[in-house]
Amino acid sequence: RTAIARHDGRDVLQVESGFGFRRDVTFQDGTFDFDVQLTDRRSFVYLYFRAESDTEREEIYLRPHKSNLPDAVQYAPVWQGRSAWQLYHGPGGTAAAGFEPGAWTHVRLVTQERSAAVFVGDMTAPVMVVPRMAREPRAGYIALGGFLPRAVPGEGPIARFANVVVSPGHVPY
């Protein structure tokens, strides 16, 4: 379930499993900022961007259960609904980032042509630079969301998103 809710005095996109799409927002190159509140449950929390359709897109995702491990953040292109995550590991594909359960963490994605930089918490140094994204750069819509693998214990949202700001054309990195 995905819903708009009120939490910590903020309007949030609250995700148990699913996505919130903004098909009316066009994004290719620029900056995508948001705050996210995560749990330590095994989950995958996504940012879809440059989505041409629900099956053709780029994605960055967070693995909060892998906080501070080398694959806590990952980039993957998606073709025909299939993520190519298996091909993107190490520098330019995965990176370490720390996530504190229940705390609000700022995340920023900066894209320009085929490159991307992902910032988590600290906005001065990216945790990951993707020097060459796999898909041809094309404008598309965005989405935020996530899912739990089967049989993960616990209840309630895996992520809450707030303060989402999309700045097409603004490339500060």
pLDDT at 172 (0 to 100): 86
Q: Is the pLDDT of residue 19 over 90?
A: yes
Report the predicted TM-score, pTM, of the whole model to 2 decimal places: 0.95
Residue type, 147: F
> What are 44's two structure tokens?
């995958």
In this predicted model, what pLDDT tens digit does every residue of 124-171 receive, in sequence order? 999 999 999 999 999 999 999 999 988 888 889 999 999 999 999 999
Rounded-to-integer distance, Cα 50 and Cα 141, Å:
6
> What are 58's two structure tokens?
């780029």
Paired residues of 46 in beta bridges: 61, 145
In this predicted model, what pLDDT tens digit does every residue of 97-120 receive, in sequence order? 999 999 999 999 999 999 999 999
pLDDT at 80 (0 to 100): 97
Cα angle 42-51-63, degrees, rounded to a multiple of 5: 15
State the average pLDDT over residues 87-91.
92
**Residue among 50, 59, 60, 63 nearest 22 (CA):** 50
Give, in order, the Cα–Cα distances in Å from 38 to each of 15, 60, 109, 110, 173: 10, 15, 18, 21, 26
Res. 23 pLDDT band, cuts 50 70 90: very high
> What are 117's two structure tokens?
């930089």
